[in-house]
Chain A
Amino acid sequence: GQNIDQPTEMTATEGAIVQINCTYQTSGFNGLFWYQQHAGEAPTFLSYNVLDGLEEKGRFSSFLSRSKGYSYLLLKELQMKDSASYLCAVRDPPSNDYKLSFGAGTTVTVRA
C-alpha cells in the first residue's frame, strides 16, 4: 500500500506562487500524478512524473525526488479559478494496472 501526505489547506493571493508538497511511503513506485478537483466536479489531470526532476507545463510545474519520496506542485501567477483541491496520487505497482492511490488533497484558496 501507499501512505501519501499533503497539507490540508493553503491560502495565497492572486498573482502569487504556491507550492504544494507531497510525501509518500510506498511498497513500490511507478509514477506520481497531480490532479485538480473543483468542488463538486471530476478530478482532472495536471501532471505526471516518473523520473526525478521538474516537469513544466505552462503556469504549473511538478517536481519529483524518488530517493526522498517527495514531490511538489508549483502554481505560478495564481488566478481565482485556481481555487480548488489538488490531489497527489501515486501509481501502485505493477505498472500495467494504472491504479492510483490518492492523498487526501490540498484545498487551495486564492484571494484577491
Chain B
Amino acid sequence: DTGVSQNPRHKITKRGQNVTFRCDPISEHNRLYWYRQTLGQGPEFLTYFQNEAQLEKSRLLSDRFSAERPKGSFSTLEIQRTEQGDSAMYLCASSKFGQATNTGELFFGEGSRLTVL
C-alpha cells in the first residue's frame, strides 16, 4: 500500500505529557499537511511543508506544537505539555505540487487519535 501512513493510530496520555505523531506521505509527493479534526467538525489546517521547508503555520498551532520534516520525506508532529483540549484526530495529508494537470487534491492518512486524560 503506497498511501499516506500515520502512527500511532491511537494514543492515550495524561495531561502534561508529550506526544509525537509520525506521518509517511505518498513517496513522490513533495507537499505534506497536518490537520486536526474534532468530533462533528471538518479538518482544521495546522501547518504544511514543501519538501523540508515549513511554509505556513496556523494560528491554531500554539508554541506547544512543533512539526518537522527533516529530510523532506516523513514528518513528525509533537505536542508538548498536552492539555485536554488537544484531544482530537490529527490527520496528515500529502499532495504533489508542480504538475500542470494536477488538481492539487490532498491525499489523507487515517489519522492519529489523541485522547488526553
Q: A41-B110, A45-B107 are in contact. Are A97 and B44 (CB under 8 A)?
A: no
Mind listing 20 A-B residue pairs with CB under 8 Å? A4-B42, A35-B108, A40-B110, A41-B110, A42-B111, A45-B106, A48-B105, A96-B97, A97-B48, A97-B56, A98-B104, A99-B33, A99-B45, A99-B56, A100-B45, A102-B42, A103-B42, A104-B40, A104-B41, A104-B42
Name which residue of chain A comes closest to B40, CB basis.
A104
**Cβ A42 vs Cβ B91 within 8 A:** yes
| Max count, chain B CB within 10 A of own CB: residue among A42, A96, A103 | A42
Of B55, B91, B105, the contact of A45 (CB 8 Å cutoff): B105
**Cβ A98 vs Cβ B31 within 8 A:** yes
Number of A residues, CB within 8 Å of B: 25
- The majority secondary structure among interface residues of chain B is loop
Q: A41-B110, A42-B109, A44-B108 are in contact. Are A99 and B48 (CB under 8 A)?
A: yes
Q: A31-B103, A98-B31 are in contact. Are A43 and B43 (CB under 8 A)?
A: yes
Number of B residues, CB within 8 Å of A: 24
Closest 6 CB pairs of A and B: A102-B42, A42-B108, A98-B104, A45-B105, A48-B103, A42-B110
